Structure 1
């Protein structure tokens, strides 16, 4: 009898379900790049340049000179790495400056930076250790994993449906968990949602969720990963845009999308942050964020708050949405994320390939990432895509759609 793991069989099963993925190395980071198959240790062999509509670099800052200079200055003045956990000797002026700016843009007393958004979500939920988490059914995997690790019980409510949330909270309360001041008879309740959903491009009804949470004495945690730097006068996200900073107990986000760096953060009151820096294991036992990443994220946040960089993004979003819909595509959502609904898994994968044949990279998203029958192409424009690149994308969608039989 053997007790090993048959990984070849597992990989074949994923391939049979069209779920096996492979690494694809990019020559550079930006709106245009050349791509190569996984070199597996050898030098990559790049093909022709492609236009990329698959990154979360929404403001187009990943290759911006201002961020590169900020990262270089951070490395020269502080170092290339933090060298230790923040609680040991890895707490630097670069981290503190970034956290002050994040707290200011989020309208909170304090902020805390983690090594990644994933680490932030898992660490926050685990540290809070809620007895019941009420989670939107389309929340990000990092939230789901945080619930698996730290929640006593997880109740999933219908996507963006505050009425269903309220009904499930009332049902749970009727089972003997009446709420009072944030604590129920069974313990603590936490409602968790993304603000902007990365695969549907829609926005959570945050005000209504606040109402439902407050009725039952629960806390509300909002993940602003795809909203930080893009919404609100101070770039704080949807929470800030809707004036809800004083009603959302835990605000979380990432530095790796619109802010074009690396890391995650949590923002809230002094007690929350002080508790998390002591109790969130993914913070306590992790080396601090690299100072160049902290410095470049801070510069990106400044650009998002003080310039009109986002105006070009929203113009590009409108151009692509209008063009795709005029062809006959159904484009979901209401934000800068443009999910082009295809439906059939095979059709979505074929459309992906036909777009790549025309040097346009926009990935097919299929189950289990999205529900059965809703496979799609996820289009993510940036502020720095040119008019010519937008037209190239639209031309590719038109020709590829006709070839696949979608138009």
Structure 2
């Protein structure tokens, strides 16, 4: 029997420490993202439940399209006609009609000349930032980890500005400006919708600051794609001011993958220079077809989503909960990690899956329950969720 050799990494000790601090995480198998046991035999069932009638209020499947029969059919048909996988990098022999059709639809939806699909949103962020390799990246302090990692790998000087604060960005740019400014490339990078706080970046104001210093702007629309018409950038008419739009296919569009959208020269450069694109097998064609179908269906799902968002926010706030943000993501601020975990456990006992979000994902003292309603939640689901929050909050001592 071979002996495990520990080369100083002390993995087991690190795991024990993480568990002692309440930070260890485990995988929890999901039988279906769309159907509970009562409707599991119906391929068109789309109730967002799993695990013996528990209802999910934690998924990023905002429009409920991951369980939509029309999306599944598009994926299945493409699997039969094109294949289940691309088989190679897009630059070798992995570029298929499914990819090109998706990219045309994405570019049209984002109001850009062209789009490029990646295997994931993470790969799109890392690939784009390293391919551009600007001299300076100005990054919102609450940007997603994939932006942070991409900025580090780009070898740019990274300047972090206060969250959603155009004045802080302006001050940071003024401090960096000098004799070398004209010779440097500057890039402002921000999420449009922040997934843990549920707020929206002041994109127009950030663009104004960037323009005054000749900088480009890149917006990560992962949590806005599909939910807003053209994302936040499109809804606010900023297509001509945001040079790089990034999005995902794996949240509201219910598929898999990521993309960037922008000018023809930008996309040509990225596909020639982004290592996460060049050296990765192309996005699976069925995922591309599913995403394109979902993009077409998104507008008809939005009203139902916002109806559920409004009902949940109003109900939670009327109980006395502090609900953060202004979007379809409803972070219920709790405070301590212990109270958030206790609330999480009581909710799960009541059949509501909405895990606690705690440090290091969010700052100490701001632990929360991140509630993410879906378009396919019914009034019964919303009522059950609100009743569970009321009972759990009273039991934990939060109400």
When normalised by structure 2's length, the TM-score is 0.94
- Aligned equivalents of 1:172 and 1:207: distance in 2? 22
- Residue in 2 aligned with 1:38? none
Give the counterpart of 1:394 among 374, 386, 390. 386
Residue 193 (structure 1) aligned with residue 190 (structure 2): yes
- Residue in 1 aligned with 2:44? none
CA, structure 1 residues 33+373, in 2 after alignment: closer, same or farther (shift >3 Å)?
Answer: farther
- Residue in 1 aligned with 2:85? 81
Aligned 8 A contact 1:31 1:385 in 2: no
- Aligned equivalents of 1:152 and 1:230: distance in 2? 32
- Aligned equivalents of 1:151 and 1:220: distance in 2? 18
Residue pairs, 1:5-404, within 5 angstroms: 5-30=9-34, 32=36, 48-174=52-178, 176-178=179-181, 184-185=182-183, 187-232=184-229, 236-305=230-299, 308-404=300-396
Following TM superposition, by how much is the alpha carbon of 1:30 offset from its aligned partner in structure 2, in angstroms? 2.0
- Residue in 1 aligned with 2:46? none
Q: 1:62 aligns to what SS in structure 2?
A: helix
* Consecutive unaligned residues in structure 2, runs of 5 or more: 39-49
Aligned 8 A contact 1:14 1:20 in 2: yes
Aligned 8 A contact 1:99 1:110 in 2: yes
* Consecutive unaligned residues in structure 1, runs of 5 or more: 35-45, 179-183
Aligned 8 A contact 2:130 2:154 in 1: yes
Aligned 8 A contact 2:36 2:52 in 1: no
RMSD (CA atoms): 1.4
Aligned 8 A contact 1:75 1:291 in 2: yes
- For 1:304-357, what per-residue CA distance to the aligned partner results, in whole angstroms no more than 9, with x for missing partners? 14xx21100000000000000000000000000000000111100110011001
Aligned 8 A contact 2:199 2:325 in 1: yes
Following TM superposition, by how much is the alpha carbon of 1:31 offset from its aligned partner in structure 2, in angstroms? 6.5
Aligned residues: 384
Q: 2:282 aligns to what SS in structure 1?
A: coil
